[in-house]
């Protein structure tokens, strides 16, 4: 089959919600070759971007159900597609590269893959810059939001987690990837939370472990203590929640290099410092992950455009001089991550003329 099947697979994956752009070096093809056999690539291109039962797929492809079920399950366990369980039935669908296939390689990472990923990341990230809807957003740590504030439920992280029924926690793939590249991070490793179908996928594939609601809330506490930025799926119903650091998370890493990280990272809040109460101790400066705080004449100040609304500085201030204030004109996040957020991203990419040849139902 040569490279043809992988070129076609790249084109197919570029029709999925966040796309899979080409590069001058062809590194995106090398990534696909490492992940997919030619047969797996061919089968992937026959799947839809929505969960289907095996009999429906088999009928469409003219294949035996038993053989197809085995092949799809093997690919699900390799993180090449997504599986949803409904009772005793397994449904399968094609999966985008990120957030998706990359994160599902948690147990398969090696140095070669990480080097290719780092080479590809700038092209992948830049392709999504014109797209308004983001896959993730930043939400304040719980202690940064006062009970006296009127805050929508989708911006109260503990309430979002408490609404869930199925929980898993896994090693942060970004920290693992950086460690394989010789850049070990000292922050906690097991901080990647998933919920619902995503949690069950991680549990069934032994990538993460099932945890209780109380344990999930303890992960949030650990994240705040460790100065990690809370980045949930950009939806009112949680699918996942990352606990990010700017040394490993590609989104925060690149955002921090920008003059205005707030223009790149979606959040509903920004920090505000009361100069009358600021003790000029510098604790907020040490705590900030975006270099968004500067020393002024009489107090510390928030640098315009750099605050991403994580709230870590609020919990560090001994005099409660810092508060989180709403950004004006913000629309509520989409309701469901898969059905609403990803579909909105796909529609925006198509409107921008970013859809590649090929189509997905």
Query: Which pLDDT value is given to residue 148?
Result: 54
Listed as ranges, residues in the chain with pLDDT below 70 are 1-2, 147-149, 355-361
Instruction: CATH 1.10.10.10 in the chain: give the residue spans.
Output: 4-129
Count how many Cα atoms sit within 13 Å of the Cα of residue 177 in the half-sphere of its side chain.
20
Q: What is the pLDDT of residues 75-114, one digit of tens each?
A: 999 999 999 999 999 999 999 999 999 999 999 999 999 9
Q: Which CATH number is correct for 4-129, 1.10.10.10, 3.40.640.10, 3.40.630.10, 3.10.180.10?
A: 1.10.10.10
Residue 54 backbone zone (phi > 0: left; psi -120 to 50: alpha; other: beta): alpha
- Alpha-carbon 79 to chain mean position: 16
Query: Which pLDDT value is given to residue 361?
Result: 33
H-type alpha helices, the chain: 4-13, 27-35, 38-44, 54-61, 65-77, 111-128, 157-162, 173-180, 196-204, 213-225, 250-257, 283-287, 312-316, 342-351
- What percent of the chain is modeled with pLDDT above 70? 97
């Amino acid at each position: 089959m040569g490279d043809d099947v992988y070129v076609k697979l790249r084109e197919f994956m570029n029709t999925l919600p966040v796309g899979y752009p080409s590069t001058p070096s062809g590194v995106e093809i090398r990534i696909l070759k490492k992940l997919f056999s030619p047969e797996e690539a061919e089968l992937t291109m026959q799947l839809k971007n929505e969960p289907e039962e095996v009999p429906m797929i088999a009928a469409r492809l003219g294949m035996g159900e038993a053989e197809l079920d085995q092949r799809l399950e093997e690919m699900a366990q390799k993180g090449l597609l997504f599986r949803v369980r409904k009772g005793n039935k397994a449904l399968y669908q094609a999966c985008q590269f990120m957030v998706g296939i990359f994160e599902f390689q948690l147990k398969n990472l090696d140095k070669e893959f990480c080097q290719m990923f780092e080479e590809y990341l700038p092209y992948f990230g830049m392709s999504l810059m014109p797209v308004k809807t983001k896959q993730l957003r930043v939400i304040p740590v719980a202690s940064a939001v006062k009970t006296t504030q009127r805050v929508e439920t989708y911006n109260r992280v503990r309430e979002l987690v408490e609404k869930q029924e199925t929980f898993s926690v896994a090693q942060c793939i970004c920290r693992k990837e950086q460690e394989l590249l010789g850049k070990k991070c000292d922050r906690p490793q097991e901080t990647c939370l998933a919920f619902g179908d995503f949690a069950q996928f991680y549990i069934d594939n032994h990538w993460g472990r099932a945890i209780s609601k109380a344990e999930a809330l303890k992960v949030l506490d650990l994240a705040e203590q460790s100065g990690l930025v809370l980045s949930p799926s950009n939806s009112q119903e949680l699918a996942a929640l990352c606990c990010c650091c700017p040394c490993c998370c590609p989104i925060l890493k690149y955002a921090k290099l920008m003059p205005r990280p707030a223009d790149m990272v979606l959040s509903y809040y920004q920090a505000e410092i009361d100069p009358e109460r600021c003790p000029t101790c510098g604790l907020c400066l040490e705590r900030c992950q975006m270099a968004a705080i500067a020393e002024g004449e009489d107090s510390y100040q928030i640098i315009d455009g750099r605050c991403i609304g994580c709230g870590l500085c609020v919990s560090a201030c001994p005099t409660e001089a810092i508060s989180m204030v709403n950004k004006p004109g913000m629309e509520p996040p989409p309701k469901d991550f898969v059905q609403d957020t990803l579909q909105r991203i796909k529609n925006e990419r198509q409107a921008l003329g970013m859809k590649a040849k090929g189509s997905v139902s």
